[in-house]
Amino acid sequence: MLKFTAKLVVFVCFIQFPSAKAATAINSVRVWPASEYTRLTIESNKPIQFSQLSLSNPERLVIDLKEVEIKGPLGELANKIREDDPYIKSIRVALFKPGTVRLVFHLKSQVKPQLFNLMPVAKQYGHRLVLDIYPAIPFDPMMALLQKSEEIGQAKPTPTETTPREVSTEKRGTANIQAAPQTLTKPWSPPQRGPDMRSRTIIIAIDAGHGGEDPGARGYNGTHEKNITLTIARKLKDLIDSATDMRGVLIRDGDYFVSLNGRVQKARQAHADLLISIHADAFIKPHARGSSVFILSEHGATSASARWLAKKENEADLIGGVNLAEKESSLAFTLFNLQQDRSMQDSEKLANFMLSQISQINVLHSRSVQRAGFAVLKSRDIPSILIETAFISNPNEELRLNNVTHQEEIAHAIFSGIQGYFATNPPLSRPMLVQN
């Protein structure tokens, strides 16, 4: 009789105290506003179940998250929205009903949202729920270029001006990178210009590697590659825009993610004559140093290190986070095409000019043009090169990459390479795209 009573008590206790379902822990919430789109990332310890609904008059986006913790990072989401966000006016976060947290986005205009989950990648990210808020009318880089040209008007610098215009990093919302000044042993001097090279404006697509969720390589002292590449890209654009016959188009002009395929698409939408992709290499050993210039390979990489680097750079989509449904729809756009022989030949000519100029400001890691299967170089009709400016994993080169004077040296060297290339390889004629 005593044994039966003890068992009965155990049975009753089990019914009275069932195990509760643990809510999904939110590790962090990040927001990346940009003119092209705003990205919101919710990182968690396991996948988040969600549903979404769009409402009009006024424009709103409602997202319900199932079984997540509302306290902590998610509760601070509203404070992360900036006043200058192009698309989000404000966010309300509240418990909608037991087991459901509701996010209400008050929008500034009509948008096309994309909401998707990403699996953990590398060691830096767990599960991520990603919301990309695109404008209802897609961003047009060529239209932006034309509008910028109209704004410049008569204020455009003369072609003899070689010093890049000062651009406020505070206005652009990026961190001001500082380092101890260094004395140059050999000042840069521009190459001699040949005869009038063309009768139309040349468009240069400038691709600052990585961005947003994808920081790129990390320096020995913590410098992020994405910040260095954007700073150099902006300085290069200033130089290009100072020439009467050229305009630069930044593939990204802020700290946000652009897919590899999207970078190529933007260059083509801008009718670019060249695509220059800027990076800062890293290696497992800190003594690796020097600059390299790469073009797309038709038959494998020129070395094991080139193959390793291309593989690492091509993983940017996994780290940055690409909506696979969108990527599949445009994958054929970047597949290698054997009809791009002319583009490949021009890419190699451009790369050789770049090596010649960069060798004047930094030791070369590879003295010849390197080849590998970089996805960002797979354009069918645009000569494209990828420049590894230095090894950011080398403490000395990281220090130089953070130095404003050296950043300007790099930009000048790239600009000189572009000028040298077009002096002997004028682009195909077409109607003027930008009127002065």
pLDDT at 436 > cutoff 60: no
- The pLDDT assigned to 172 comes to 37
Is residue 420, in this structure, part of any structural domain at all? yes
Statement to judge: residues 190 and 271 lie in one domain: yes
At 254-305, the pLDDT tens digits run: 999 999 999 999 999 999 999 999 999 888 888 899 999 999 986 778 888 8
Average pLDDT over residues 110-128: 93
Torsion of CA 342, 347, 349, 352, to 10 degrees: -160
At 177-191, the pLDDT tens digits run: 333 333 333 444 444
Statement to judge: residues 317 and 217 lie in one domain: yes
- The pLDDT assigned to 300 comes to 78
Task: Name the percent of the chain lying above pLDDT 70.
Answer: 75
At 303-321, the pLDDT tens digits run: 888 888 888 898 999 999 9
- The pLDDT assigned to 327 comes to 55
E strand spans, 170-283 = 202-208, 246-250, 274-281
* Lookup: tokens for 46: 């396991």
Output 425 or 157, whichever has higher pLDDT: 425
54 - beta bridge partners?
61
Is residue 339, in this structure, part of any structural domain at all? yes
Is residue 300, in this structure, part of any structural domain at all? yes
Statement to judge: residues 414 and 304 lie in one domain: yes
Is residue 306, in this structure, part of any structural domain at all? yes
At 135-147, the pLDDT tens digits run: 998 867 666 666 6
- The pLDDT assigned to 326 comes to 64
Sign of CA dihedral 220, 224, 229, 231: negative
- The pLDDT assigned to 349 comes to 95
Is residue 230, in this structure, part of any structural domain at all? yes
Is residue 4, in this structure, part of any structural domain at all? no
- The pLDDT assigned to 143 comes to 63
Is residue 388, in this structure, part of any structural domain at all? yes
- The pLDDT assigned to 171 comes to 36
Domains contained in the chain, number: 2
Is residue 343, in this structure, part of any structural domain at all? yes
Statement to judge: residues 71 and 147 lie in one domain: no
Contact 41, 30 (CB under 8 A): yes
Alpha-helical runs (H) found in 253-297: 260-269
Domain boundary among 117, 135, 153: 135
Statement to judge: residues 251 and 117 lie in one domain: no
Q: Which CATH number characterizes residue 362's domain?
A: 3.40.630.40
Statement to judge: residues 95 and 152 lie in one domain: no
Statement to judge: residues 103 and 161 lie in one domain: no
Average pLDDT over residues 16-31: 74
Query: Can you tell me the distance from the alpha carbon of 211 to that of 226, in angstroms, rounded to the nearest whole number?
Result: 5
At 104-113, the pLDDT tens digits run: 999 999 999 9
Statement to judge: residues 100 and 182 lie in one domain: no
Highest mean pLDDT out of 36-45, 166-175, 189-198: 36-45
Residue of 265, 162, 217, 270 whose CA lies nearest to 390: 217
Mean pLDDT of the chain: 82
Statement to judge: residues 355 and 329 lie in one domain: yes
Domain boundary among 135, 151, 167: 135
Statement to judge: residues 223 and 77 lie in one domain: no
Average pLDDT over residues 407-424: 97
Q: Which CATH number characterizes residue 62's domain?
A: 2.60.40.3500
Domain boundary among 135, 150, 180: 135
Residue of 375, 322, 40 whose CA lies nearest to 207: 375
Instruction: Tell me the whole-structure pTM to 2 decimals.
Output: 0.80
DSSP label at residue 182: -
The domain in which residue 85 lies consists of 26-135
pLDDT at 71 > cutoff 70: yes
Output 77 or 340, whichever has higher pLDDT: 77
Residue of 306, 292, 311 whose CA lies nearest to 391: 292
Statement to judge: residues 129 and 153 lie in one domain: no
Residue of 265, 383, 380, 372 whose CA lies nearest to 311: 372
- The pLDDT assigned to 163 comes to 38
Statement to judge: residues 118 and 264 lie in one domain: no
